Structure 1
Amino acid sequence: MKTKVFIFLYCAVALLSCKQAQTDVQPVQLKGTWQLLSATTKENGKQTVVDFTKGNKHMIKIINDTHFAFLNHDLDTAKNMNNRFDAGGGSYTLKGDQYTESLDFYKDKNWEGKTFNFKVTINKDTLIQTGIEKVEAAGVDRIITEKYVRVKERIK
């Protein structure tokens, strides 16, 4: 009898610990609208950091169940001037923290049809995306790190 109770308790503890381990691992929640805070580029031994919280640049990324889109423009351009608008998008896959974008739409055809692999992490409402952008036809081979914050209300 004692053996059966011991085995039952052992199995119960083992099941509870497995259940706990499964709930501790949370999938990355990418869906939503993200506003770019900063972009760091490392290319040819040089690092460049652009702070999107200061100055005139504004960029968002919108991610749904299967696709992403990014929209980028300058805020202080006169109404009669080119506002230096940029946009693109396509499909993506997410496996654990491995996020792969397939750029299906972009103004520069050298970038269209390319895939870009990133590692993503989310801490509270901050998304950090790091990976390699390599587009030989455009002469691009760099490591990028983008830091976003989740947009909770209408962007002004």
Structure 2
Amino acid sequence: MRSKIAIIFICAIAISCTQKTEEKSGPAGLPINGTWKLLSGTLIENGDTTVTDYTKDRSFIKIINDSHFAFLQHGFKNGKDSTVFAAGGGTYSLKDSIYTEHLEYCNARDWEGNDFSFTVSIHQDTLVQKGIEKVAGSNVNRYNIEKYIRVKTPFAGTSNK
């Protein structure tokens, strides 16, 4: 009897060690969960277009799990040339390709409590997010296009060294 239990136990361990970790999906089945690094952002506001390259003098990541998102941005010069820093987060919903963030926390406090809906598409490791950002009571009313790349996460127990 003990040998049967030991064989079952060994088989279970072997199967669990060989199975690949599946990528989690958001509520609509898109593989949106994970950490995303912003490569570029395009803002169209009052007929003017501004393109920002987030790989040069600043970094921006967005982290998405099954129910929440968070974002962090900072400059690369440790605040010596500017005070580039932004952070926020909240809950989100995803229905088909419509991703809606409910911003609960933000260092720009007048943005808190607002909902922002975007159309998202994912192709391989690239996420593109497009939509209107409008903040009531402020001058913010713009079309935003953001292009992200998925951040590869090492397996548990491995090092980034």
Same fold by TM-score greater than 0.5: yes
Give the TM-score normalised by the residue count of structure 1.
0.76
Match of 1:10 in 2: none
1:107-141, CA deviations, whole angstroms, 9 ceiling, x for partnerless residues?
Answer: 22211100000000000000000000001322100
- Aligned residue for 2:148, secondary structure, equals strand
Q: How does 1:131-142 map to 2 (within 5 A)?
A: 131-142=131-142
Match of 1:75 in 2: 76
The number of aligned residues is 129
Where does the alignment leave 5 or more consecutive residues of structure 1 unmatched? 1-25
Match of 2:39 in 1: 37
Q: How does 1:11-90 map to 2 (within 5 A)?
A: 27-54=29-56, 56-77=57-78, 83-90=83-90
Larger Rg belongs to: 1
Q: d(CA) in 2 for partners of 1:144 and 1:151?
A: 21
TM superposition shift of 1:82:
6.6
Match of 1:96 in 2: 96
Q: d(CA) in 1 for partners of 2:42 and 2:82?
A: 25
Of stretches 106-115 and 59-68 in structure 1, the one that deviates more from structure 2 is 106-115
TM superposition shift of 1:150:
0.1
Where does the alignment leave 5 or more consecutive residues of structure 2 unmatched? 1-27, 155-159
Shift in alpha-carbon separation, 1:86–1:113, aligned structure 2, 3 A: same
Match of 1:128 in 2: 128
Give the TM-score normalised by the residue count of structure 2.
0.74
Is residue 75–residue 82 contact of structure 2 (8 Å, CA) maintained in 1? Answer: no
Shift in alpha-carbon separation, 1:78–1:116, aligned structure 2, 3 A: closer
TM superposition shift of 1:77:
2.8
- Aligned residue for 1:137, secondary structure, equals coil
Cα RMSD, aligned residues only: 2.1
